[in-house]
């Protein structure tokens, strides 16, 4: 069964960083790409960036370019999204999604990770 399993909810203080993980199973992780998307309460889906797993090439939305780092660990089949300099506006559900055979559509989604930024 192809799936992505994300890490659990996080509560962070403003100015700190958060690192969310996304573990893949059931498909060839090396051939895939993983994107990260977030949705704040009442807001639309917002694309953060992606990583092509095999080549380790990344692409970030301009809005997040200075604060986000997406990485992967091929030995464990896990992708990571680290967001720094957190502010309250970063409170959202963060989703990872995989394209099994990159470049292609992102068709496998994780369940989401709630990140709360609060003092």
Binding residues (CB under 8 A) for another protein: these are 35, 37, 39, 44-47, 50, 59, 61-62, 95, 97, 99, 103-107, 109-112
Shortest distance (Å) from residue 87 CB to another protein? 21
**Beta-bridge mates of residue 83:** 18, 68
Shortest distance (Å) from residue 34 CB to another protein? 11
Shortest distance (Å) from residue 59 CB to another protein? 6
Using CA atoms, how far apart are residues 79 and 101, in angstroms rounded to an integer? 16
Cβ neighbours of residue 104 under 8 Å, at least 6 residues apart? none
Nearer to another protein, 37 or 83 (CB): 37
Nearer to another protein, 1 or 75 (CB): 1
């Amino acid at each position: 069964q192809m799936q992505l399993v994300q890490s659990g909810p996080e509560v962070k203080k403003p100015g700190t960083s958060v690192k969310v993980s996304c573990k893949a199973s059931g498909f060839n992780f090396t051939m895939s790409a993983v994107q990260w998307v977030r949705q704040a309460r009442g807001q639309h889906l917002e694309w953060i960036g992606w990583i092509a797993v095999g080549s380790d090439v990344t692409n970030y939305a301009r809005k997040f370019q200075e604060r986000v780092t997406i990485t992967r660990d091929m030995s464990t089949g896990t992708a990571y999204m680290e967001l720094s300099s957190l502010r309250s506006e970063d409170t959202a559900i963060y989703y990872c999604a995989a394209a099994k055979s990159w470049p292609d559509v992102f068709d496998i989604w994780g369940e989401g990770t709630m990140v709360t930024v609060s003092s």
